[in-house]
Amino acid sequence: MVSLVQPQPIIYVLEPFGGSARLHNPMLPHVFHDDAAVTRGDGVFEAILLLGGEPTNLDRHAARFASSAARLGLPAPYLGQWREVTAAAAQAWHAQHGEKHPAARCTWTYTRGRESTGVPSAWVTVGAEPREHARARAEGARALTGPRGYQVDTGDKAAPWLTTGAKTLNYAANMAALRHAKQNGFDDVIFVDTETGRVLEATTSTVIVVKKGRRLRTPRPGQDILSGTSQQALFEYAGQRGYKCKVKDLYVDDLLSAESVWLVSSVRRGVRVTAVNEVELPAPKNAAEIAALIDAALAD
Ligand code: PLP
């Protein structure tokens, strides 16, 4: 019989200034009532795919983690410590659950810490990949397009304190968009800039458009679009294999006229968009090839 119970995650709590890490019992809480993660959503994170007990795309995750922390004015994380703890947690996971769960999710969380101490909080978890990911990869995602709900000024009026290019813990609005999509018979929302009609990103993934002639396109990451580690890995890998990869402004019409449209992110990997609003996007002949390309790029 298939067990529906997911195994307990492995959790390490890190001393944030490069010191020790301790294994934490996942049945017990470890975040204080006055932690900025809880009270303000003030912190950064990374979600990293583990395959066969090894982290993937780690250099890009580490670089973005450091840049997210810098954008929020958090002390620079000791990346060597995060990497060491990740290796230990990944190997422990693999030894215990590798056979049933060769793909797992590792999360790095780094918060501004307790109001009462001002010391950042830091922890690493490794747990099973959410079940719905495999279904999404197999069945694809029906996407609504819509405004993000706020406009990020990327021009010379840009607010210097904005954290939109950082991977912050503040995902409540994205989760609300996702719930809205589900309540309306869709699986995700692709955000579109209301002023220009530019495609931005989905709630938890980067948009990739595949055009005829082995051409891959993605909107320019930057202040209003999170720079995706999966997209970067895909473009590097595909570029070395004869695909022409470009960062370019995209509009909803580009989604509709594409050979295929994909949402890519580290742990869920590649999910083909099967509908945009009411328009069905039938699978192209090379759908399996593109899915395999994304998988291979992320496992590289
Ligand atoms: N954009 C958003 C808003 C995301 O939340 C994510 C991933 O969580 C991505 C893009 C894709 O990033 P990555 O490929 O590094 O997982």
Task: For residues 151 and 96, state if they share a domain.
Answer: no
pTM, to two decimals: 0.96
Task: For residues 25 and 86, state if they share a domain.
Answer: yes
| pLDDT tens string 66-80 | 999 999 999 999 999
Task: For residues 277 and 197, state if they share a domain.
Answer: yes
pLDDT for residue 2 is more than 60: no
Rounded CA-CA distance 248/266 in Å is: 21
Which among 102, 52, 60 is positioned nearest to 233, based on CA atoms? 60
Rounded CA-CA distance 252/204 in Å is: 18
The pLDDT of residue 182 is 98
pLDDT for residue 276 is more than 80: yes
Task: For residues 149 and 276, state if they share a domain.
Answer: yes
Task: For residues 92 and 25, state if they share a domain.
Answer: yes
Q: Which domain holds residue 81?
A: 10-128
Which among 67, 37, 44, 36 is positioned nearest to 168, based on CA atoms? 44
The pLDDT of residue 91 is 97
Question: Could you tell me the distance, in angstroms and rounded to a whole number, from the CA of residue 117 to the centre of ligand 1?
Answer: 31
Question: Could you tell me the distance, in angstroms and rounded to a whole number, from the CA of residue 116 to the centre of ligand 1?
Answer: 32
Residue 2 inside a domain? The answer is no
Task: For residues 149 and 294, state if they share a domain.
Answer: yes
- Nearest alpha carbon, ligand 1 atom 5: 204
H helix runs in the chain, sequence order? 36-40, 58-71, 79-97, 132-139, 172-183, 229-239, 252-257, 287-299
| CA dihedral over 154, 158, 159, 161, signed as positive or negative | positive
Residue 86 inside a domain? The answer is yes
Task: For residue 195, give every residue at least 6 positions away whose Cβ sits within 8 Å of its Cβ, in sequence order, or none.
Answer: 151
Residue 1 inside a domain? The answer is no
57 lines ligand 1 (CB under 6 A): no
Rounded CA-CA distance 209/238 in Å is: 13
205 lines ligand 1 (CB under 6 A): yes
Residue 5 inside a domain? The answer is no
| pLDDT tens string 122-179 | 999 999 999 999 999 999 999 999 999 877 777 766 787 888 789 999 999 999 999 9
Residue 3 inside a domain? The answer is no
Residue 76 inside a domain? The answer is yes
Task: For residues 123 and 147, state if they share a domain.
Answer: no
Question: Could you tell me the distance, in angstroms and rounded to a whole number, from the CA of residue 191 to the centre of ligand 1?
Answer: 13
- In the chain, the number of structural domains is 2
Task: For residues 49 and 115, state if they share a domain.
Answer: yes
The pLDDT of residue 152 is 77
pLDDT for residue 1 is more than 70: no
Say if CB 144 and CB 192 are below 8 A apart. Answer: no
Residue 267 inside a domain? The answer is yes
56 lines ligand 1 (CB under 6 A): no
| pLDDT tens string 218-273 | 999 987 899 999 999 999 999 999 999 999 999 999 999 999 999 999 999 999 99
Ligand 1 atom showing the smallest separation from residue 57 Cα:
15
Q: Tokens at residue 239, please?
A: 């570029």
Question: Could you tell me the distance, in angstroms and rounded to a whole number, from the CA of residue 173 to the centre of ligand 1?
Answer: 15
Which of 128, 148, 172 is where one domain is finished? 128
Task: For residues 180 and 99, state if they share a domain.
Answer: no
Rounded CA-CA distance 61/207 in Å is: 18
Task: For residues 142 and 231, state if they share a domain.
Answer: yes
Which of 204, 247, 268 has most ligand 1 atoms within 8 Å of CB, for mutation?
A: 204
Task: For residues 107 and 203, state if they share a domain.
Answer: no
Which of 128, 147, 162 is where one domain is finished? 128
CATH number, domain of 173, equals 3.20.10.10
Residue 228 inside a domain? The answer is yes
Label residue 99 by pLDDT band (50, 70, 90).
very high
| pLDDT tens string 7-40 | 999 999 999 999 999 999 999 999 999 999 999 9
Task: For residues 78 and 63, state if they share a domain.
Answer: yes
Ligand 1 atom showing the smallest separation from residue 64 Cα:
15
CATH number, domain of 69, equals 3.30.470.10
Which of 73, 97, 128 is where one domain is finished? 128
The pLDDT of residue 164 is 79
Say if CB 281 and CB 273 are below 8 A apart. Answer: yes
Share of the chain above pLDDT 70, in %: 98
